[in-house]
A and B are shown apart, each in its own frame.
Chain A
């Protein structure tokens, strides 16, 4: 996501170093889900999104927030700690980060099977993604219980 050449050189250098230092993780077990036209899709965001009633994310957060599928956009805020992404776009159009309306439209058109009741949000900015393993497994169990076939991870 994003070309390094489109970033400020200082930011590009910083991200290259992070990528180089990032421990290798995958791959996990291969799973063949139902066809997209039959699948229920849930969004998993790493934008630090949450409802106003939720506690904000903080430095080093490994926990998640629930975003019910019927959450109104005026109830969603961003508490991601990074200053190096364009959060104004979310202010203009929340679907650019949390495409719930787009998923509903695809479901109405029969292009996907359905949209999950619950969606999830983390805050990224963690140099070692393996720290999320335990929470990630929990989210996986919850989504399976909710009949989710596809987790659509949207980075920020």
Chain B
């Protein structure tokens, strides 16, 4: 894609998407990437794409990650009860991470930091009902997105909470993107819920953007072993 855009100076890096500066909490590593990229200012005399071949030191560890929280099987038949039970098991650790960091990414939907249960309950209700059109009505939440796009961000808020929970223990490795997806979609009620919501979006073929939102909801490869995007994807332009 850089070759199509032809930027004046570009540094190709081998890092996973979402980690453009490479290593988390490693200022020296990040500064070395910056130095190499900015160094092109002084060396490039024409449009240049240079490769940065240095790998991050922690990728092997994160691939071998295992969830430190024991999510035991719930006995309820209710998806909502099982999801809320799972959230409850993770909550102490998510709170600890928020305390350590002094911040959270939870809340892009408009929900407050302490409204994780509300978001989870709303998502489970939508998964059960298949209603991907009606906006969930929850006291105290003014959603920042309309349906069905709201579903995509409800998923992100809950993924944020889950990741906060599993990264609370110091000295232990954090899951990389693949490990986190693998865990969520094969071992958690959240993953089960998201796949049911995706099925609901499939059924709602007459709802504008439903199929596109399905593709934005489920990472590639995790919807029935393939892509959740429809065969033809047309991104509308929001002018």
- A and B bind: yes
Task: Output the nearest chain A residue to B3 by Cβ-Cβ distance.
Answer: A19
Question: How many contacts between A and B, using CB within 8 angstroms?
Answer: 212
Cβ contacts B99-129/A at 8 Å (1 or 0 each): 0011111011000000000000000000000
A25: chain B residues within 8 A (beta carbon): 4-6
Closest beta carbon of chain B to A82's beta carbon, Å:
7
B236: chain A residues within 8 A (beta carbon): 59-60
Closest beta carbon of chain B to A140's beta carbon, Å:
13
A35: chain B residues within 8 A (beta carbon): 41-42
Please report whether the interface of chain B is mostly helix, strand, loop or mixed according to DSSP. loop
Contact A11 B20 (CB under 8 A): no
- Known A62-B237, A81-B152: A41·B144 in contact at CB below 8 Å: no
Cβ contacts A27-47/B at 8 Å (1 or 0 each): 110110101100101000000
Closest beta carbon of chain A to B28's beta carbon, Å:
10
Q: A22 to B2, alpha carbons, bound, how many Å?
A: 10
B177: chain A residues within 8 A (beta carbon): 85-86, 88
Q: A74 to B102, alpha carbons, bound, how many Å?
A: 7
Q: Which of B195-239 contact A (CB under 8 A)?
A: 209, 212, 216-221, 226-227, 229, 235-239
- Known A19-B1, A60-B235: A27·B19 in contact at CB below 8 Å: no
Contact B163 A102 (CB under 8 A): no
A59: chain B residues within 8 A (beta carbon): 149, 209, 212, 216, 235-236, 238
Closest beta carbon of chain A to B162's beta carbon, Å:
9
6 nearest A-B residue pairs (beta carbon): A26-B6, A86-B18, A74-B103, A86-B177, A85-B17, A85-B18
A-B CB contact pairs (8 Å), 6 listed: A19-B4, A22-B5, A86-B176, A96-B20, A127-B235, A155-B20
Query: Using a CB–CB distance below 8 Å, which chain B residues touch chain A?
Result: 1, 4-8, 12-25, 27, 30-31, 34-35, 37-39, 41-42, 46-47, 101-105, 107-108, 144-145, 149, 152-153, 155-156, 159-160, 163-164, 167, 174-178, 180, 209, 212, 216-221, 226-227, 229, 235-239
Query: Using a CB–CB distance below 8 Å, which chain A residues touch chain B?
Result: 1-3, 6-11, 14-15, 18-19, 22-28, 30-31, 33, 35-36, 39, 41, 52, 55-56, 58-63, 73-74, 77-79, 81-93, 95-97, 99, 101-103, 105-106, 111-112, 125-127, 129, 131, 150, 152-156
